[in-house]
Amino acid sequence: MPSLLSHLLLITAAASLAAAAPAPSRVSDFTKRSSSTCTFTEAASASASKSDCSTIVLSDIEVPAGETLDLSDLSDGTQVIFDGTTTFGYEEWKGPLIRISGSSITVTANDGAVINGDGSRWWDSEGTNGGKTKPKFFYAHSLDDSTISGLTIKNTPVQAISVQSNNLVIEDVTIDNSDGDDNGGHNTDGFDISESTYITITNPTVKNQDDCLAINSGENIYWSGATCSGGHGLSIGSVGDRDDNTVKNVTITDSTVSDSANGIRIKTTYDATGSVSDVTFSDITLSGITDYGVVIEQDYENGSPTGTPTDGVPITGLTVDGIIGSLEDDAVEVYIMCAEDSCTDWTWGDVSLTGGSTSDDCENVPSGASC
Ligand SMILES: *[C@@H]1O[C@H](CO)[C@@H](O)[C@H](O)[C@H]1NC(C)=O
């Protein structure tokens, strides 16, 4: 049970850690075994002693307000296991609440483990656009040649998992922010990928209020077996006006998107430069889509379409095939807004959507595609 005293001790430990390495030896709540499996019940102890452990068990950790569960720079080959319930104190700050980095790291969870952001404390329907400052949730940055599997995450304050890594596999991860549907959850993206190569995400479940997947930059990305609901669908972009503006060789396949604003989407930024190439969306089943089944537009600026597409971020080598399912009455099946000659070499297979209407507003639709 947390007490004021133990919180004070934690803060003291954290403060002395920040002031001077090496770690204090009086951290009392971890057991270091000869096999160097360490079980931690406090975030500060885990952060302080992480490099001594080849296996780190995070057991019912209550991360203090305004602090990160910081497992950065782990030793090569470290295993991290979430156990029990991981919770976070309340503070308005940018986060992240969890950070894990290193090489050849394996992150898993024991049966029944839940990482619970209790996001309702921050939700105010404004997400990252205003209101309370909300902490980002999980940074998988510089988590290279590594695997994350079987995590269950609930109710993140805003965006859930930010990926900036090389050769990372994420499998069987559930992000359930459905409590935010009627409760002010906003910008609760499931997976945001940027500046990454060789990312494989299989069998994710995402219930949220923004993109299930958003790829802003990166190469050699494979996504399959997803169940997405409640949010904005499977997105690339917006691409342009960032540090890295190349999206290349992406496959998004074998997924369902339900009760969401869009099914699949590519957005590039107005008057910016970059490229989107060799992207495949295939075998994606839609239902309950409210805005667009398939939407591809080159006119985004400050998070909104301008209606004026530009050609600085061409979309080439796009394959769209096996996009089936149903939309709400006032949704649009397919919308394509390209600048002249900047959408080329597209392959358009089976796109069979029912329930919505067709668009009269498409521009510069490349040959093969239909709007
Ligand atoms: C495309 O990315 C996949 C990983 O998703 C990789 O296996 C494949 O080799 C890449 N293709 C090219 C041409 O780089």
Could you tell me the residue range of the domain that residue 314 belongs to?
A: 48-354
25 part of a folded domain? no
Q: Which atom of ligand 1 is nearest to the CA of 222?
A: 5
30 part of a folded domain? no
What is the whole-number distance in angstroms between the Cα of residue 223 and the centre of ligand 1?
12
What is the per-residue pLDDT for 35? 61
Residues of the chain with pLDDT under 70: 1-35
What is the whole-number distance in angstroms between the Cα of residue 35 and the centre of ligand 1?
38
333 part of a folded domain? yes
Separation in Å, CA 110 to CA 85, 100, 140, 286: 10, 18, 19, 32
What is the per-residue pLDDT for 190? 99
292 part of a folded domain? yes
Tell me which amino acid residue 283 is.
D
Q: Please state whether the predicted TM-score (pTM) of the whole model is above 0.95.
A: no
- Residue ranges lining ligand 1, Cβ < 6 Å: 220-222, 249, 251
Cβ contacts of 156 within 8 Å, gap of 6 or more: 117, 119, 137, 175, 177, 188
Residue nearest to atom 8 of ligand 1 (CA): 220
CATH number, domain containing residue 67:
2.160.20.10
277/345 Cα distance (integer angstroms): 10
Domain count, the chain: 1
What is the whole-number distance in angstroms between the Cα of residue 249 and the centre of ligand 1?
6
- How many CB atoms within 10 Å of residue 307? 11
Q: Are 219 and 241 in contact (CB under 8 A)?
A: no
Residue nearest to atom 6 of ligand 1 (CA): 220
Beta bridge partners of 282: 253, 321
Residue nearest to atom 10 of ligand 1 (CA): 220
267 part of a folded domain? yes
What is the per-residue pLDDT for 209? 98
334/264 Cα distance (integer angstroms): 10
43 part of a folded domain? no
Q: Which residues are catalytic?
A: 232
286/51 Cα distance (integer angstroms): 45
165/319 Cα distance (integer angstroms): 25
What is the per-residue pLDDT for 14? 38
- In terms of C-beta density within 10 A (0-12 exposed, 13-18 middle, 19 or more buried), how is residue 319 classed? middle
31 part of a folded domain? no
Peptide bond into 96 cis (omega under 30): yes
291 part of a folded domain? yes
